[in-house]
Chain A
């Protein structure tokens, strides 16, 4: 299948002149789970925000983002969402006075077929206990992330960018989340998944490695994981503290 998302030579420089993305090229094919790996600070969240048009990252410094055949540079977040492109943030916001049910209904506004309770069940939350709770500070980090995942399922977008949605969720349920990603894919949502977890990366159809603001390789997830472990985790540019630690241990 063709690319649903094409990122062409994307550059992003902050106002202070710091270059965060240095010419990213990335294709996400329709119907795939594409995992984006990379060390802390590589620019994964910046890339995710640029793709979604969030966090003040509507316009890249250079380059093009093409979604569903259209250049979307400069389009506001909600317009991209209406086109079928959404993002789950690394830290989704919390809301006073809004119930889980209302939140999921808002998410399902353009998907009348959504079964809210079923979406909750799929993320491992019992609707009886959660529908009427508020999406506020009373939820644990893991619960909030699960609700975000349920909201994406309710929305059923063409492409969902998931920025570390698995962090904060118990380790035992990671396999469960991998299966969920597969279900979402099979139901028609293409996924770009940012993660640090190998077992999530393992279920991907393809993976890319982002390092120092550039995609260094795209391909078979197992190969990319190996490269990530072998090269990135010991790279002095991206992980000076870790390298130092390793060196001390080796000595």
Chain B
């Protein structure tokens, strides 16, 4: 059964509310249900082309040099009534000195069997600033196999922040790969917050290439694995340029039994002035944190929930 257009958007909005995103239909710039464009409004300062394809869409978005977008841009890429094979290709080009903050929402409705790929490329010009928030809603009843790839190229002095959040319901079989090339004096910060529940298999891979002098990279991941989940983090930093710095910080927290966790940091330096560091932890929630909260009268379970919610925030 096909739903009418409006109800799918409303359903998407409802999913967003469930993951704590308080948004209204009028705030959305774009809504696509697999390859059916349900809503698209022209945005000041942004040129955007979208072509529906057999399995999804191709989108190309350009922000001209010097243009500062002073409102958050909200784009929904949903699977509300379509499962099956799904491929989205997106390219974002941000000109010199431009600024933008974009929210992309991946919304997967109930009962889907889905094989989805999101392939995103971001090109950030000199001294431009881009913030990208990728927030997911995966319905618990969906059977999901998701691959999300993000390639970012930062020109001199550019700033890029990316947050990937899959913290509600279930992740499914989810693999995300970030690849960043960070130019001179540019800064890339990528954060992943994931919750893996029973039967989920999550892989987070971050690759930072510091190709410009004084490039900075930070990869920070927080993965909570509940009963019967599998999670893996791979963090790679390549210090190729003089005085480049990168820090990889990944904490994988177990809450439950039959959990399999892996954490693989790789640091490769080809320049003697580059500095690469990593911080990795796998295990239960820190006892000291629990006790500090239990001393306020919280039970161990309540304290655990507070710590987990804080980490995934």
> A residues touching B (Cβ–Cβ < 8 Å)?
52, 54-55, 76-78, 81-82, 86-89, 91-98, 106-107, 109-110, 151, 155
Contacts and interface: CB of A to CB of B under 8 A. Distances in A.
Given A95-B310, A96-B310, A98-B310, A106 B291 contact: no
A167 to B, nearest CB: 17
Interface of B: 222, 286, 288-289, 291-300, 303, 306-307, 309-313
Contacts of A78: 294-295, 297-300, 303
Contact of A86 (B295, B300, B303, B307): B295
A89 B288 contact: yes
Given A96-B311, A98-B310, 12 more contacts: A54-B294, A76-B294, A78-B298, A78-B300, A87-B295, A89-B291, A93-B291, A93-B292, A94-B289, A97-B309, A106-B296, A151-B296
B306 A106 contact: yes
B58 to A, nearest CB: 36
- Max chain B Cβ within 10 angstroms of own Cβ: one of A76, A93, A109: A93
A107 B296 contact: yes
Chain B residues touching A, majority SS: helix
B289 A95 contact: yes
10 contacts: A54-B295, A77-B291, A81-B296, A88-B295, A93-B289, A93-B292, A97-B309, A107-B296, A109-B298, A151-B296
Nearest to A82: B297
Nearest to B290: A93
Given A97-B312, A98-B310, A81 B297 contact: yes
9 shortest interchain CB distances as A-B pairs = A97-B310, A97-B313, A81-B297, A93-B292, A93-B289, A98-B310, A78-B294, A93-B288, A77-B294
A96 B309 CA distance: 9
Contacts of A96: 222, 310-311, 313
- Max chain A Cβ within 10 angstroms of own Cβ: one of B294, B295, B307: B295
A155 B297 CA distance: 9
